[in-house]
Amino acid sequence: MRHYIRRVLTIGLALIPMLLVSSGSNLLTNGSFETGDLTGWVDPGAGGSATVGAPTNVPAQDGNFAALITQAGGVGELRQTFPASEGDEFNMSGWLLTEAALPVGPSFGLFKIVFRDAADNDLIPASASIGQINTDFPGIESLPFLDSTSSVDTWVFSEAQGVAPAGTTQVLFLALNVDFGGGVNPIWFDNIQALSILGGGNLLTNGSFETGDLTGWSNPGGGGGNATVGAPVVGAQDGDFAVRLELETGVSEIRQTFPANPGDEFNMNGYMLTEAQLPVGDTFGLFKIVFRDANGADLLPESASIGQINTDFPGIESLPFLNSDSPVDTWIFSEAQGVAPAGTTQVLFLVLNVDFAGGLNPMWFDNIQATLSTVPVAICPDTATVTAGANSSGSSADICDEDSAIWTLQSETFAAAFTPAPIAITFEGNANPVVGGTDLTLRLVGGPQFSNDVAFIQLRMFDSNGAPAAETFFPESDSDNTVYEITRPVADFVGPNGELRAEITCAKTVNGPIRLRMDQVGWQIQ
C-alpha cells in the first residue's frame, strides 16, 4: 500500500520535510500470501486447517490472496520462527476479517509474539508496549481481537510489540484462530508484518564478553581453531574480558547470525590486539559482514561504504586489518558497513583470525558492535494542497525526490495584513510507517520573517487519538537558522487509524505582513 503525507498550509512557506524510519523490513516470508499458498509458514495442524484464497464479499486486504484459518473447538494457527536474544524488541501487525458474526465467548482471532528458550519453553515477555501480555500462555497478544463485537466483512487492524526476556533464543510470530465458542468460525488473515525494532542499539549479545564466556556467540571450530575468554596483559578494551582466537594454519572465528532483508544496511566495528609481532604474509585479524540467502549461500554485498568487499569469499571486510604493520599491545579499531543484496534472508557478523603464515599467532578482540543503520525513506504525496490564509494570496509548486527522500513545497510570500491571532500550519500523514525507533521528533529549522513583531513560535504534536501529545512554546529568535523541536515516544503515534499531525503556530503582536521561513520541517525517527 502506498503511504502518503498530506499538508494543509495556511501561510506562505518553503518546506523540506523528511521522515526517517528504520530500514529494517518485514521478517516474514509471504506475509500477504501472494504466492497463492502457505510458502514460508508452518501449520502445526492439530485438527485445524489453513488455506489460501480470498473472502467472498470483499477483496484481500493486500494483493489478491489471504489465509483462512479454521478450527472447531481448539486453536488453529500459522507461524514463522526466527533466532532472537534477550533484549530484542519485535513488532507484529496485520489484518483480520470474519465473514459471519463470531459467537459471544471464547472465539476470537489475533496475532501473537512468543519468546522461547533453548529447551523450547515459552517465556513471559520482559515488557509489552503494544498489545497485552498473557502470563498463562506466555506471549504478547495483539489488540484489538477479532471477536463477537467485530463488524462482518471488515478488515480489522491488530498489533503487538514487546521485548524478549532473559534466556530467549528464538521468537515465534503466530496468526491464531482461537475457537471454543461452538461450531466452525473461520477467520481470514492478511498483510502480516513482523519487524525487529532495533533502535540503533547493538544487535550482538555479549559483544564485550563480560559474561566471562562465549554466551551468544557460535564457535564453528574453524578446523581446530580455539576461542577463549580472558584478557591480555594490557587489559581488556572494555570491561574485564575479551576473546582470544588462535589457529595454526587456518581460520579461527566466532559469529552471530540475524534475519535480514535486501536493502538493509549494517555496520560492524570493534577492537583487535596482538601481544606479539605478527608475521609478514597471510596472517591478519578482522571483522566481517556476510549476507546469505535462504539456501545458505554467501552473497556479494550490494555495496560497502566502510571497509572493502571480498568477491572471492563474499562479504564486507573491516579496515584496517590487524597484521604485521600493527603495533604490539595496542587496541586497534576496525570497521565495516554495507548494504544487503537481493535474495538476502540473514546476516552473519564474524570475528576472524586468518592465519596461514605458520605457527600460532593468537589475537584478542573486544567491544564488538553491530547495528542496523537508519536511512531516509521518501514518502511522496500524489498531490499537495496550499490554502492561503485570510486576506492572503500565493502559489506553490510540489517537487518530490524519491532518492534523496526530500519533499520540497515552495510558495511565494504571503504579503497580507494579519490580525494578532495565531497563524497555524497543519501537516499530517499516515503513521503506519513509524516503526523502528523509540522517539519521534518534530523539527523546524528556520524562523519567522519580519521578526520584530513576532511573539512566539509554537509546535504541537497530536497522538493517534487526536489529543495533543506534546506542546511547546519557543521565544522567537532573530536567527533564520534556529532549530525548534519537540520529541515524544513513537508509541504515542502508531495505531490502526493513527496519523502524524502537527501544528506550527506563529503569532504577531501587531497587525502587518508575516511569513514563516521553513528551511526544514518534518518528522524524524530516533
pLDDT in tens, 113-148: 999 998 999 999 999 888 899 999 999 999 999 999
Residue 509 predicted with pLDDT over 70: no
- DSSP structure class, residue 167: T
**Which residue, among 488, 459, 452, 453, has the nearest Cα to 474 in the 3D structure?**
459
The pLDDT-based confidence of 522 (bands split at 50, 70, 90) is: very low
The alpha carbon of 400 is separated from its chain's Cα centroid by a whole number of angstroms, namely 24
C-alpha cell at 420: 494578532
Q: What is the mean pLDDT of residues 38-54?
A: 81
- Structural domains of the chain in order of their starting residue, each with its CATH number: 5-23+377-525 (2.60.120), 49-197 (2.60.120.260), 226-372 (2.60.120.260)
Q: How many CA atoms lie within 13 A of 256 on its CB side?
A: 21
pTM: 0.46
Which of 166-170, 369-373, 386-390, 482-486: highest mean pLDDT? 166-170
Looking at residue 83, its pLDDT comes to 84
Residue 379 predicted with pLDDT over 90: no
Looking at residue 264, its pLDDT comes to 83
- List pLDDT tens digits, range 453-491: 444 555 555 555 556 655 555 555 545 455 656 666 655
Residue 505 predicted with pLDDT over 60: no
Beta strands in 340-382 (DSSP E): 346-355, 363-372, 374-376
Looking at residue 422, its pLDDT comes to 38
Worst-scoring range by mean pLDDT, 230-244, 262-276, 404-418? 404-418
Q: What is the dihedral of CA 122, 124, 125, 130, to 10 degrees?
A: 100
Q: d(Cα 266, Cα 313) in Å, to the nearest integer?
A: 18
Q: 156 Cβ partners below 8 Å, 6+ apart? A: 95, 96, 97, 144, 146, 150, 496
C-alpha cell at 120: 523450547
Q: d(Cα 217, Cα 207) in Å, to the nearest integer?
A: 9
Q: d(Cα 412, Cα 515) in Å, to the nearest integer?
A: 10
Residue of 249 and 487 predicted with greater confidence: 249
Looking at residue 468, its pLDDT comes to 60
Q: d(Cα 353, Cα 286) in Å, to the nearest integer?
A: 7
Say if residues 239 and 330 touch (Cβ distance below 8 Å).
no
Say if residues 184 and 87 touch (Cβ distance below 8 Å).
no
Looking at residue 448, its pLDDT comes to 45
To which residue does cell 494457527 refer?
77
Q: d(Cα 444, Cα 483) in Å, to the nearest integer?
A: 6
Is beta strand 385-386 parallel, antiparallel or unpaired with respect to 5-9?
Answer: parallel
The pLDDT-based confidence of 428 (bands split at 50, 70, 90) is: very low
Residue 373 predicted with pLDDT over 80: no
Worst-scoring range by mean pLDDT, 6-20, 322-336, 411-425, 479-493? 6-20
Residue 218 predicted with pLDDT over 60: yes
- List pLDDT tens digits, range 269-290: 999 999 999 999 889 999 999 9
- DSSP structure class, residue 206: T
474's enclosing H/E stretch is: strand 468-475
Looking at residue 463, its pLDDT comes to 56
Q: d(Cα 333, Cα 318) in Å, to the nearest integer?
A: 9
Looking at residue 303, its pLDDT comes to 92
Looking at residue 326, its pLDDT comes to 94
To which residue does cell 522461547 refer?
116
